[in-house]
Chain A
Amino acid sequence: MNTPYLQLNGIRKSFGRFEALKGIALEVARGELMVFLGPSGCGKTTLLRIVAGLETQDAGTIVQDGRDISRLPAVDRDYGIVFQSYALFPNLTIDSNVAYGLVNRRDRRESIKGRVRELLTLIGLPDSGLKYPSQLSGGQQQRIALARALAPAPGLLLLDEPLSALDALERVRLRGEIRALQQRLGVTTIMVTHDQEEALSMADRIVVMNQGRIEQIGTPREIYELPTTPFTADFVGKVNVLPAIVEQGGVCRVGTMSLVLGRSDLISGTAVKLYLRPEDIALSMNGAKATNTLPATVAKVEFLGAFCMVGVALDTPGVPPLVLNVPRHAVAEAQLRPGTAVSVCLPPAALRILS
C-alpha cells in the first residue's frame, strides 16, 4: 500500500579483511527523518556513502522511489548531501555555493537567483549571499551547506554528523531548525550521528547500529523505553544492569534477594539480565511498602544540574550497586548524602528482561 521511499536489502561491505557492514536491511518511509545511531566505527558513514553511491557495496540492493539504484554512480542518483566538514567551496560566495548545482541544470539566471534567495531566506540567512564561507560562523556555514544540498530539490537528503563540529548551544539550536525545515519541506532524510540526544530529539525513527549490524529500528520512544537488545539499552541512555535467575511464579532472584517481575512466561532456572533506567527507580524515605521496595544506603551524590545522580548500595548482600536520577529539590529535601539510609523501589513494569 504505502511503499517505502528507500529500501536497503542485504547490504554488505568489507575493507580488505575487515567487514564494515554485515548485511543491512531497512526501509525509509517517504518524508521520514531516519537517524543512524551507533558508536564510532560501527559503519554509519559507510552505509550513508553507499546510499549516496560514493562507495560501492559488495552485495545487496538499494531501491529508491521504485528505482533500483544499486549499481548507479553517484552522479545518476537523486540526493543532496551535507558533510560534517560542510565542504563549502571557499573561493565562491555564498550565492554561488548555493547555486552550484542549479547552474549546471541550465536554468534561467533569474530563476536561479530566485531559488537561491528563497533558500537563503528559508535557512534564515537572507543577507549573506555576497560573503565567503570563511566569513561565517560554523553554524551559519552548516546551514549554507544544507541550502546548497536542498537547492536542486533532491528526493533524499543525507546528513553525515552535520552538527558534530559545532559548540553545544549552537548544536541544540540547529537541530531544532533542521528538523523544522525537514518537516516543512517533507524531504526524506537520513542523518548519521553518534549523539543519542540528537537522535532522540530529531528522529522519526532511529536505526541503532553496532559493529556493522542493525541492533534495533524504532521510534525514539521505542528505542528508549523498549530496547530489544542489551546493546541498545546500554548505548541509548543510562541503565542499571542486574544479573538474575528466574524462579517460579513471576519472581526472580538477584544475589540473595527476590524481585517481582510482573510476568511469568519465563522458564524457571534461566539466567537473565534485568535492565532498569535510573529515573524509573523511585526513592522513598519512610519505608513505604510498594512492590520490590528494598532498603539501601546512599554511597555517592553527583550534582548534574536539574538532576542529581545518586549511587546507592542495597543492604542485601550480593547485589550490584544501583544508580538513580533524583530531582535536585528531592535531594535537598531528603538531605541525601553518603551514608543516608533510604528505600528504593524497582517497579516491576520498568524492569526489562533481556537475555
Chain B
Amino acid sequence: MATAAATLPPPLPAVRRVHHWQERLAQGLLVACCAALILFLFAPLFMILVKSVQDKDGAFVGLLQFQQYFETPALRQSIVNTLWIATAVTGVTVPLAFMYAYALTRSCMPWRGFFRVIALTPILAPSLLSAISFIQWFGTQGLLKGLLGGASIYGPIGIILSSIYATFPHALMIVLTALLLSDGRLYEAAESLRTPTWRKFFTITLPGAKYGLVSAAMVVFSYTVSDFGIPKVIGGNFSVLALDIFKQVIGQQNFNKGAVVSLILLAPVFVAFVVDWIMQGRLQSQFSSRAVPYAPKPKRWFDGAMLAFCVVVALLLLAVLGMAVYTSFIKLWPYDLHFSLRHYTFGLIDAGVIVSFWNSVKMAAATAVFGTMFIFGGAYLLEKTTGMNGVRKLIRLLAAIPMGVPGMVLGLGYILFFNHPDNPLNGLYHTLTILVLSTVVHYYTSSHLTAVTALKALDNEFEAVSASLKVPFYKTFFRVTVPVCLPAILDIGRYLFVNAMVTISAVVFLYAPQTQLASVAILNLDDAGEIGAAAAMATLIVAASSLVCVVYAGVTRLLLTRTQAWRKPSAAG
C-alpha cells in the first residue's frame, strides 16, 4: 500500500476559475431562488415540526401530544374515516377514469374532443361546488333524495360522491397521458399474430398503463385525504383529518394540536407522493421517442358501447355542474324555480361579498404572473446555468416537496411561521401577498416540472454558444429561451390561475376580512345557509376560469400559427 501511494502523483492545487460577473449574477439569482424556497416552503413546514413537540407555552414536551391524540377515540376515528373514504374514492375514480380514457384513446366513437373537454370541467370548479350540488340533488329537499333509500347525503356518501367528481379529471389526465404514450407498433405486432382483443388488453394496454394507473390512484388518494372543503360542506358530523386541523386551529386556536394532526395527515399523503414520484419516473422512461401513436379502427359494437358509457359519465358530470349553476339562477330551490338574479344581486353584490370574487381574480392573476416568472426563471437557472451544484440539488429537492404537502398543512405552517411575533416578515400576514406566495408554493411542483420538461427539450448548448459569441446569458434567455418555451409558459400561467381561483385549504388560514377569497366566501355563505349565493359565487369562479382557459386556447393557437414557420410540426402538435 505504501509503495502504491508513493507512486501516485502529488496532489495538484485545484485550478480556480475566474468567474465572470455574468456567472456571478446567475449564481446569485440561483441562491436567491433557493433562499426564497427555504423561506416560503421549508421554514413554515419546519415550524409545524417544532410546534408539534411543544405545548401551548412553548415548552418541549416530546411526543406527549401525539400520545394524547391517539388516546382520544374521536380523533383516532378521524384517521380511520379519512383512510377509508380516500380508499373508496380511489377505488371508484380510477377505474372510471381509465374506462373513460380508454374510450377516448382506443375507440372511434364520435365527439371525442368534446367528451374530453366535458370531463375536464370539474377542474375549473372549487371542490365545494360539487358538495353544494350534491346537497341540492340529494339533500333534505333534494330531487333524488329517494334514491338514497333513507341514507343521508350528509356524511360519507356525500363526501365520496363529491370527491369522485372533483378528482375525476385529475385521474383522467394522468391515465390519458399513459394511454397516449403507448406504442401502436405493439398492437400491430399483436394483430399480425392474431391476438384476440381481450388478450391485447391484458398483455399490452394494461401493462402499458400500469404506472399511469398507480400514479393516478396516488393523486386521487392524496387529493381526497387533503381536501377539507367537501367534508366541511357535506360531511355533517363525519370527522376527517383535514377537518380536524381546521377545527383545532380556527375553532379552538390550538396550534400545537393542529400541528400534530397536520403531521398525521402528512404521513399518508407523503407516502402517496413518493410512490407517485417513482411511478412518474418509470412512466417517462417507458416512453420511447420513436413510439408510433396507436390509431384505432372503427368497430361498431365496441364504439357504441364506449359512446354510451361516455355519454352517461358526461351527463352525470354536467348534472353536478349544472345543478350548481341552476341553483344560482333560480329564486329558491325547490320551492320557487323562477329565474332570478337575486343570488348575484342581493346575495353577492348588496351583501358586499362580491369583493371576495375580485380578490380572487386579483390573487389568481398575481399568482399566474409572478408565479410563472419565478417558477420558469428558477427552472431556467437550475437547468441551464452552471456552478453551485450543492444549491442546485437543494432546489431540486425543495421543488418536489409541495406536491407531497396538503394545503391545510402548508397553510398552518404559514400561520405558525409568519404570524410569529419575532418574524420580521409578519407584516405579510393577512395580506394578499401572502395568499399569492402560499398559492405559488402550493402549486409549485407541477409547474416546475412543466418548465423543466420544456427547458430540457431545448438544445443544451445554447448557453455555451452564447458564451462563445460573448452574448450575456440573460439576452439569450429573453431572445431564445422564452420565445421557444412560450407555450409551456402560458400553460403554467393558466394552471396557476385556475388553481388559485379554486384553492381553499391553504388560504383558509391566511385571509383577513378584507382579503377574503371567493372560495372562502363560498364556505362562509354555506355556513350561513346562503346556499343560493354560495352557488352563485361558485358559478362566477367557473366562469372566470373558463374565460381564462378560452383565452389561453386562443392565444396558444394564434401563437402556434404565427410561429409555425420555425416550430417543427411535432412541437406544434
Contact = CB atoms under 8 A, between A and B. Distances in A.
Interface of A: 10, 12, 49, 52-54, 56-60, 70-77, 79-81, 83, 85-87, 89-92, 100-101, 104-105, 132-135, 148-149, 151-152, 154
Contacts of B470: 75, 101, 104-105, 152
A148 B469 contact: yes
A73 B12 contact: no
Most buried by A among B468, B469, B471: B468
A81 B463 CA distance: 12
Contact of B568 (A60, A72, A134): A134
A59 B12 contact: yes
Helix, strand, loop or mixed for chain A's interface? loop
B20 A87 contact: no
Given A58-B14, A70-B15, A71-B15, A90 B567 contact: yes
B479 A76 contact: no
A85 B468 contact: no
Given A74-B467, A86-B459, A135-B566, 7 more contacts: A52-B468, A56-B17, A58-B15, A59-B15, A71-B18, A77-B468, A152-B469
A87 B468 contact: no
A41 B461 CA distance: 19
Contact of B468 (A56, A105, A149): A149
A74 B14 contact: no
Contact of A101 (B23, B459, B471): B471
Contacts of B20: 73, 75-76
B351 interface: no
A133 B468 contact: no
A121 to B, nearest CB: 20
B469 A101 contact: yes
A81 B464 contact: yes
A73 B19 contact: yes
Contacts of B17: 56, 71-73
A48 to B, nearest CB: 11
A57 B15 contact: yes
B349 interface: no
Given A60-B15, A92-B479, A105-B470, A75 B22 contact: yes
B290 interface: no
A74 B468 contact: yes
Given A75-B20, A76-B20, A81 B563 contact: no
A204 B508 CA distance: 72
Contact of A72 (B18, B468, B563): B18
A52 B466 CA distance: 12
A71, A74, A149: which has the most chain B beta carbons within 10 Å?
A74
A58 B15 CA distance: 6
A73 B18 contact: yes
B338 interface: no
6 contacts: A74-B464, A81-B468, A83-B461, A100-B466, A132-B565, A149-B469
A56 B23 CA distance: 14
Interface in B1-44: 12-20, 22-23
B199 interface: no
